[in-house]
Structure 1
Amino acid sequence: MMGEFDAIRPYADAEVPAVLARLLADDEFLGILTQFRFPRLAGPLGWLLKPLIAYRLRLEFRDVRSVAQLQTRVERYVDHSIERATDGVTYSGIERLQAGNAYLFIANHRDIVMDPAFVNYAVYHAGLPTPRIAIGDNLLQKPYVSDLMRLNKSFIVHRSISGRREKLAAYQLLSAYINHSIRVDGESIWIAQAEGRAKDGDDRTDSAILKMFHMSRKGEPFAEVINALQLTPVSISYEYDPCDQAKARELSIRANSGSYTKVAGEDDQSIALGITGYKGRVHVHFSAPVSQGLEDSKLLATEMDRQILSGYRLFPVHYLAYAMWADRDPALAVPTAAERFPAEELRVAETEWQRRLANCPPEQRPYLILQYANPVRNQYRVKAGLPL
């Protein structure tokens, strides 16, 4: 692979054995695996279990020589953790994706690890190559996390750079890498529609990200560049967000004090909860590559929002939250949950929703409701042809 992308690109096949060996000698990584596999025994018997787990994994991965082999080997673990934490994953629109084509998937962003994992799951099970995944360097504080992500086709987005010139150079490199990946390597890309998760459930595309795709090909018309990238909107819908209480707390603190400071290890906790926490049902929808709104980044952002929001699957909980929302729009023709769903499905959802509300301190509840209500308002505004 070309040297100019070495600072951000995923690992190549030739690097896999050495990186695996490094991971399986990393004490902290082995500690996390032990904790995940044997939560009750990890504390008192960690010293004994860690070498055993390392030994077993070395045996299991000893013949892995490529990223594709590694993904195939890890796939059953991923499927198992997905099946354990969801009531099933469904997808639609995947038949639009053609083998041999590379796509630039741009998706709404709710969960740090699981958003791209669910897209991977859908694509992998459809027999197509998985995309390369954009991940912010703010999440790669530990060497083993960086190794893990880059083994799984992740590339690095340098977000923690502060100087204007450095930022520009980083975006230029990112733009060149994305274009190279799709047009030269024939490898799809997954990237979130905005930096950071939409903690209030209000999914919007940041036009600066769309502009970035064009940066490395400034001499060519914007529409032509976007067309060549096969920009494909993806809607990821979770019935329940395992991090909804933490998001409500953050939004509440932010609203009352004007700011919110993360404590050390908070991102790691979000990642762990996002992976293992209960999500109910999950739906992933792939729209067709965009063919309108290509004149400039603002129009394109509007078109992306239209596609992502209309492809979102609304579950009973979303309608229940919308009915309780103080800011709901009386002019929008939104049906009740009872009009949309069978009684038994609704009963199960009401029980779970009441449980979540009861676990949320009263002053934070409006922010819990907001997360589930916003997608309803957004989708019905799109349906009605109203501006968002």
Structure 2
Amino acid sequence: MPDRYADIRPYQDDEVAAVLERVSQSDTLHRALLKYRLPMLPHWLREWLLPVARYLLDRQLANVNTVHDFQMWMEGWVERLLAKTTTDVVVRGLDSMPPDQGHLWISNHRDIAMDPTLINYSLYQAGWPTSRIAIGDNLLSHPDIADVMRLNKSFIVRRNITNKREKLTALQQLSGYIRYSLAQRESVWIAQREGRAKNGVDLTDKAVLKMLALNGREHKETFAETLSALRPVPVCIQYEWDPCDLMKARELVARAKYGSYSKEEGEDTRSLLTGIVGQKGTIHVDFGQPLSDDDLASAETMAAAIDRQIRDMTEILPVHHAAVRLLQQRFSCYLQARAGDSSRQIQDTLWQRIEGEAQDVQKQVLTGYAMPILLQQNMADG
């Protein structure tokens, strides 16, 4: 029986050995690992150490024979990464749901790699099975990255399709794969929208929800019947500090000035790596309540319910207060916003991140950090 999802699904256990053989031959991957572990070494010395890196990685992966083995190996890397780049990871909400049932986790989208990583880290720490991960094909242009992601239970969302008929076929395949995964009691993570919320406003794209419902058309199901079978649960992910804050602000300013923004070659990969290795402070991962039948009546009601839960789970942090204060002091804007106390140290740290930037970029970064308060007080511009 042909595998109708072979070109988008994660790798399976019987494919792991061949994929690891490819990965073990990748100098690009070995260079990235050396740069991550030994960033202070000069480039020429890291090049000299490439054979050592290859040997050590081969040894570490020698007993990896299944996807679960690979994820257990990755777990050590994630633990070290979070210890190095965060002060704490606070996870809430999983104790109200059964772990033996697949769920569709629909989260806000702030970081390319860390959002799904934190979902699976939270699940693993709570004793849950990890979830399958939806990831755009724009991030998989390098075959080594594609191999590692698909070993780590990622499946592909095809975005770079212009032909309408081909795009519909790809969306139907994607919708079918998500439904198939949930039927196997495999949880799935998907972002509430295509692309990160660079301005700090988390809004669900109804097109994503309509894609999820496509599979139901084959069975003549209503929107509510299809989405109910997926057991959707909103998730809110918050980073105290966003390693990509300046990159996001520069893009938004360019779009506002010129009406468009053209990414440089490799920009998505740089954003991915910056988000991974940058300092994030405290991270909050809040799992919400399963959506009710009333919430699932239509794409509109479902989007509103997801947005409402994510907004309610968003915690106001000291850095948000500091951003409002700096907007008021430096730019004389949002003067009616009510900001609570924030230490001078946090304000100074926030300003030091942006003081060398153009004023419009400075203001955009501060507005992004202030957004939870501005939204709460109905003062956001858009």
2:13–2:67 contact (8 Å) kept in structure 1 = yes
2:106–2:234 contact (8 Å) kept in structure 1 = yes
Partner residue in 2 for 1:385: none
1:235–1:286 contact (8 Å) kept in structure 2 = yes
1:237–1:314 contact (8 Å) kept in structure 2 = no
Partner residue in 1 for 2:374: 377
- In 2: Cα distance, 1:47 partner to 1:335 partner: 53
TM-score between both structures, scaled by the size of structure 2: 0.93
SS of the residue 1:289 aligns to: coil
Matches within 5 A, 1:299-338: 299-323=301-325, 324=327, 328=334, 330=336, 335-338=338-341
2:72 is the counterpart of 1:69 = no
Partner residue in 2 for 1:361: 358
Partner residue in 1 for 2:199: 200
Partner residue in 2 for 1:188: 187
Q: Which amino acid aligns with 1:311?
A: M
Matches within 5 A, 1:285-300: 285-291=286-292, 292-300=294-302
Matches within 5 A, 1:241-320: 241-291=242-292, 292-320=294-322
Distance 1:149 1:42, change over 3 A: farther
Q: Which amino acid aligns with 1:276?
A: V
2:352 is the counterpart of 1:351 = no
Partner residue in 1 for 2:52: 52
- In 2: Cα distance, 1:18 partner to 1:290 partner: 40
RMSD: 2.0
Q: CA deviation at 1:247?
A: 1.1
Deviation per residue, 1:329-361 (Å, 9 max, x gap): 94xxx64221xx7xxxx3442232221232432
- In 2: Cα distance, 1:329 partner to 1:348 partner: 22
2:10–2:151 contact (8 Å) kept in structure 1 = yes
Distance 1:239 1:28, change over 3 A: same
Distance 1:13 1:371, change over 3 A: same
- In 2: Cα distance, 1:272 partner to 1:252 partner: 22
Q: CA deviation at 1:328?
A: 4.1
- Bigger drift between 7-16 and 49-58 goes to 49-58
Structure 1: any 5+ residue segments left out of the alignment?
383-387
Partner residue in 2 for 1:36: 36
- In 2: Cα distance, 1:129 partner to 1:380 partner: 38
Deviation per residue, 1:239-258 (Å, 9 max, x gap): 11111111111111111111
Distance 1:165 1:371, change over 3 A: same
Q: CA deviation at 1:143?
A: 0.5
2:215–2:226 contact (8 Å) kept in structure 1 = no
- Bigger drift between 90-99 and 348-357 goes to 348-357
TM-score between both structures, scaled by the size of structure 1: 0.92
Deviation per residue, 1:81-131 (Å, 9 max, x gap): 111111111011121232211000011111100111111111110011111
Structure 2: any 5+ residue segments left out of the alignment?
none
